[in-house]
A and B are shown apart, each in its own frame.
Chain A
Amino acid sequence: MAGGASSNRQRSKIAPYLMILPALAYLAIFFVVPFWSLFRTSLSSSGGSVYLPTLTFAWDFGNYAQALTAYQDQIVRSLTYAFAATVISLLISYPLAYAIAFKSGRYKNLLLGLVILPFFVTFLVRTLAWKTILADDGVVVHTLGSIGLLPSDGRLLSTSWAVIGGLVYNSMTFMILPLYVSLEKIDPRLLEASKDLYSTGYRAFRRIILPLSIPGVLAGSLLVFIPAMGDFINADYLGSTQTTMIGNVIQKQFLVVKDYPGAAALSFLLVAMILVGVLSYTRALGTEDLV
């Protein structure tokens, strides 16, 4: 067929655009536009009656100021809980990731499989299981009470610690996996060299392993911090009215109270806080690329 080659070439020039167009158009409509809607809502003033509220776009930055003052407690709590969950998760995940990467021998794949396993239990049911474990008449409270670690009328459920514990549990696996990936990548020859040069194990860890695992620490921390900041399930199931987080407010304002502008403003404040947190953290660890 005459001209086949040239038309092929032409087709291949527009082909990539044709291939990316459907997905990008979809994401433009159902990811970008919704954010724009939310942004407009966050700057709208509500009027009308309680039964038939109307929203008018008005550059109403008062919504933000109001959200900041009205939900101060929840904002501080979300930052504290998410930060605590990230630190605790990092501290307990590192030894396990380290052990799997360096000490597990032929059980490596089995251990990795075990770490991935909880993924396949519904997130809500997992959190519900913690409700059972931490229950006031449960084994854990009894045991801690009998050895004096918990006052006799002490509770675990409905405390900040229960919420933080839930956040840690539900996000730990995605701290372990990136840590493991970065540790596994370390060139064994570097460790051999350090040994040949009479380095102690501790020194080798501090000077070689720890710096080289920073990308994993970074990725893992982000994967824990971001969902923890927006979570409301752990606070809802394991906490009390004293432990509500930003997510609880957004959810309630949106779906129960129907104060859309206030909830939208709070959503953007949440995104802003996450961005600030992520950027300062990446800067502090001195890595430019994220993964």
Chain B
Amino acid sequence: MTLQEGTAIVDVLDGPPAKTRRSLVGTGKAGDIVLRVIAGLVLLYIFVPIFVIILFSFNKPAGKFNYTWQGFTLDNWANPFKYPALAQALKMSIEVAALSTVVAVVLGTLLAIALVRQRFRGNKAVETFLVLPLTAPEVVMGASLLTLFLDLGWATGFGTILIAHIAFEISFIAMTVRARVRGFDWTLEDASMDLGASPARTFFKVTLPLIVPGIVAAAMLSFALSLDDFIITYFVSGSTVTYPLFVNAAVKAAVPPQINVLATAILLISLVLLAVGTLYRRKRIDS
């Protein structure tokens, strides 16, 4: 998932739950069929590569490259971590994603709560500023961070990857959490204060429980963003290798089917998490 994808996905997740409605738009019978056929073809276009990725995770490649179909095997799935470098890269990606998300969640959430809950000078300016990291081309963000690190004389590696990921995640988390916590019943906070709770107690006992689902969702998306980031990481990684960097290097040397196995596994895990999240959200809305 790239930054822009993250932004688009949040728009939909935060919209009102989709309602089914009776078809009011008369396109006519023929028009209707044409529309459905086109929509189906576009869906097919979206899915063909995903299907190919899953299919080739079962391939028995003849050479170094897993590009042509040779035969079915379960070996790749039995040994997903056959290549230590790939396993190491994935581990590195998960570490970066987890650490950067923790830091970005704290900074981004504080910012989001201040934006929604408090009136202060420059509120609008801060909101506009937050959009910038999400709209700047990633190649320029990577290049600018690298220039800074070169100017400072910092060696690029794990630390600089972490710094870069936190930088793009803060905006993303702040925007996501802000969208989620808007329109909550904040009078509960006043009620808690009126009943004598201190601001800190009110924050931990009232505010936090209200916004935790939004934070969790933002954190999960941010984790996915970090796990998948290639362009920015490429500039600031030095000799540290993350999962996308491993894939990129593999394209030039040898593409093992384990790349497909791990991509499919990540997809499956994401799907499960997405399903759990949706069910949880529905339950909350119902109750």
A residues at B contact (CB < 8 Å): 8, 11-12, 15-17, 19-20, 22-24, 26-27, 30-31, 33-35, 37-38, 41, 92-93, 95-96, 98-100, 102-106, 108-109, 111-126, 128-133, 135, 137-138, 169-174, 177-178, 180-181, 184, 188, 191-192, 195, 200-201, 204-205, 209, 219, 222-223, 226-227, 229-233, 237, 246-247, 250-251, 254-255, 260, 263-264, 267, 270-271, 274, 291
Contact = CB atoms under 8 A, between A and B. Distances in A.
Contacts of B286: none
A102 B24 contact: yes
Of B25, B107, B145, B267, most buried by chain A (CB within 10 Å of CB) is: B25
A8 B200 CA distance: 11
B147 A41 contact: yes
Of A120, A123, A219, A251, most buried by chain B (CB within 10 Å of CB) is: A120
B237 to A, nearest CB: 10
B170 interface: yes
8 contacts: A96-B38, A96-B42, A128-B247, A129-B52, A174-B5, A174-B7, A223-B8, A255-B235
Interface string B116-154: 011110000010010011011111110111111011000
Interface residues of B, number: 101
B110 A22 contact: yes
Contact of A35 (B117, B144, B146, B171): B144
The SS class assigned to the B binding surface is helix
A116 B143 CA distance: 29
Contacts of A177: 8-9, 11-12
B284 interface: no
Contacts of A254: 143, 146, 235
A222 to B, nearest CB: 8
Given A20-B126, A122-B266, A123-B230, A99 B36 contact: yes
A121 B224 CA distance: 10
The SS class assigned to the A binding surface is helix
Given A98-B39, A201-B31, 9 more contacts: A19-B110, A20-B114, A23-B110, A95-B42, A112-B12, A114-B46, A124-B247, A271-B137, A291-B11
Given A123-B1, A133-B48, A33 B148 contact: yes
Nearest to B39: A99
Contacts of B137: 226-227, 229-230, 247, 270-271, 274
A120 B113 contact: no
Interface in B197-244: 199, 224, 227-228, 230-231, 234-235, 243-244
Contacts of A180: 12
Given A112-B18, A188-B24, A260 B139 contact: no
A95 B35 contact: yes
B67 A120 contact: no
Nearest to A227: B4
A230 B8 contact: no
Contacts of A173: 5, 8, 46
A93 B87 CA distance: 37
B251 interface: yes
B166 to A, nearest CB: 7
Contacts of B231: 230, 232-233
A106 B17 CA distance: 12
A34 B247 contact: no
Contacts of A122: 227-228, 243-244, 247, 263, 266
Contact of A121 (B32, B36, B50): B50
B68 to A, nearest CB: 7
Contacts of B92: none
A23 B111 contact: yes
B118 A92 contact: no
B285 interface: no
Given A99-B36, A120-B271, A123-B228, A230 B140 contact: yes
Contact of A201 (B3, B26, B115, B140): B26
B147 A120 contact: no
Contacts of A171: 4
A37 B144 contact: yes
B271 A119 contact: no
B287 interface: no
A95 B118 CA distance: 42
B285 to A, nearest CB: 13
Contact of B140 (A41, A116, A255, A270): A270
A102 B23 contact: yes
Contacts of A26: 107, 166-167, 170
A226 B247 CA distance: 24
